[in-house]
Amino acid sequence: MMKYLIEKVSQISLEWVKAYAEAGCDAFIISEAEFSSDLISPKMYQRVLFDIHQRYFKEISEMGIFPMLCFFGNINPLIKYINKIGIKALMVEENRKGFSMDILKIREILNEEITLFGNIDPYEALVKGRSEDVEKAVKKQLLAAQRGRFIVCNGSPLIEGTPPENVKTMIGVARRYGKNPQY
């Protein structure tokens, strides 16, 4: 029954994607929060959602839209499936909930042609951190760029009260060192 409902919701969502495509949008992001491996087993993901994701992202691509997945929760055990669902970009949250979302390890396992967005911690690094802390976090994540397509980014939305200087530092360090992460 769950699979049936997910398929129906996916079909409705594709109507939205079609409207976005007709309006001239280039990319479409879906957020997946209910099917991370900290909530269901990889075997359950494979049985319930894998083929739905494959069809869904294939149809999005066929519309000329760049399919992106924003995955909340522990993606590590699911990367072998994520590599096969047809997405062009992946966003993951920062380390939390008792599991590690090591961007370097994810980039190492993720297919090279899938663009990976960084997951700099928006609270620890960007709200509480000093400029030096932000620079260190960006430089560490830039090492992932050596292993495939990568975009420096925070793992969750910016938090109210984030010092603008830290956001400027994040962007500035990414621009300064992004083309040559050997600093």
Could you tell me if residue 102 is inside a domain?
A: no
Residue 136 burial class via C-beta count within 10 angstroms: exposed 0-12, middle 13-18, buried 19 and up: middle
Q: Work out the average pLDDT over 97-121.
A: 92
Name the pTM for this structure: 0.90
Of 92, 108, 138, the residue that ends a domain is: 92
Give the CA distances from residue 73 to residues 15, 35, 123, in Å, rounded to whole numbers and listed in that order.
Answer: 27, 8, 17
Q: pLDDT tens digits for 129-138? A: 999 999 999 9
Structural contact between residues 90 and 52, judged by C-beta atoms closer than 8 angstroms: no
Among the three residues 57, 92, 127, which one is the final residue of a domain in this structure? 92
CB atoms within 10 A of CB 84: 12
The whole-number pLDDT of residue 109 equals 94
Average pLDDT score over residue span 147-155: 92
Say which range, 31-35, 62-66, 177-181, has the weakest mean pLDDT: 177-181
16 and 57 together in one domain: yes
Residues 88 and 140 in one domain: no
- 44 and 82 in a single domain? The answer is yes
- Residue 111 lies inside a defined structural domain of this protein: no
Number of folded domains in the chain?
2
Confidence of residue 38 (pLDDT cuts 50, 70, 90): confident
Q: Domain limits at 152?
A: 118-183
Q: Whole-number mean pLDDT of the chain?
A: 92
pLDDT at site 145: 87
Q: Are residues 83 and 155 in the same domain?
A: no
Summarize pLDDT for 72-98 with one digit per residue, the tens.
Answer: 888 999 999 999 999 999 999 988 777
Q: Using an 8 Å Cβ cutoff, are 16 and 30 in contact?
A: no
Please identify, among 57, 74, 92, the residue that sits at the C-terminal boundary of a domain: 92
- CA-to-CA distance for 95 and 98, rounded, in angstroms? 8
Quote the CA–CA distance of 157 and 148 in Å, as a whole number: 24
Gyration radius of the chain over CA positions: 17
Q: Please, which pLDDT band fits residue 33 given cuts at 50, 70 and 90?
A: confident
Q: Is the pLDDT of residue 180 over 80?
A: no
Position 182 scores a pLDDT of 59
Position 169 in a domain: yes
